[in-house]
Amino acid sequence: MTLPLPGAVSDEGRLAGIMHAIRAAMVASIKRSPLSRFQLAGVMGELLDRDVSKDMLDKYTSESAEAHRPPADTLAAFCLATNSIDALDVLAESVGCVLTPICVGMTEDLSTELRSGVIRIAQEFGEAAGAVEDAASDGEITPKEAARIRRELRDVIQRAVAVSALLAQQERLR
C-alpha cells in the first residue's frame, strides 16, 4: 500500500527536528505518569522481555544524548508503559498521519454506550466548529489557534473511530 505522503524526496531537512519533538513528548509523558522512571523502565523491560534500565530511559529522553535514540519496539513499550501515545503521535504527524487509539470495551448496555458516543461526537464537532469560528473571526488563523482546531478535530475523529469499533465488535458477536 502506498501512502499519499505530503512533500517529496526533495524536502531536505524536513525531519531534522523530529527527535527533539519525540524526546519532548516522551518527557511530558513521563511527567504525567504515576510511575517513576525506574518503574517505567521495569515495565518496558517486561514488555520487551529484555533489560531496560532507568539510565537507558534517561538517555532516550536527554537532549544531550543525541546518539541514543529509542528503537521502534522500545518506543512502543514506552507508550504502553506511560499509557501515552504522544511520542508516536509526533512520529505519525511527521509523515502526514493521525493516530487514533481504540479503547473499546463492551458494557452491559450497548445502546446507551452508542448513544452517548454519538452525542459526544456531536459535542466535539461543535467544539471544533467553535474553534474554527473563533480563529477565523479576525481573518487570520494563528499557529496556536490552528493547534486548538487540530486537537478538537482529532477528538472528533478518535471518538468516531471508537464508536465504529464498538459497532464492529457488536457485528462480530452475531
For residue 105, the model assigns a pLDDT of 56
Tell me: do 33 and 68 sit in the same domain: yes
CATH number for the domain that contains residue 80? 1.10.260
Structurally, the chain folds into a number of domains equal to: 2
For residue 74, the model assigns a pLDDT of 95
- Non-local CB neighbours of 165 within 8 Å, separated by 6+ positions: 102, 104
Nearest Cα residue to 42 out of 57, 63, 28, 25? 57
User: For residue 8, is it within any domain?
Assistant: no
Tell me: do 72 and 118 sit in the same domain: no
For residue 68, the model assigns a pLDDT of 87
For residue 112, the model assigns a pLDDT of 82
For residue 63, the model assigns a pLDDT of 84
- Provide the residue range defining the domain that includes 53: 18-94
For residue 24, the model assigns a pLDDT of 94
pLDDT 10s digits, 45-56:
999 999 999 999
For residue 93, the model assigns a pLDDT of 85
Given a contact cutoff of 8 angstroms between Cβ atoms, the answer to whether 40 and 52 are in contact is no
Residues of the chain with pLDDT below 70 are 1-11, 102-108, 174
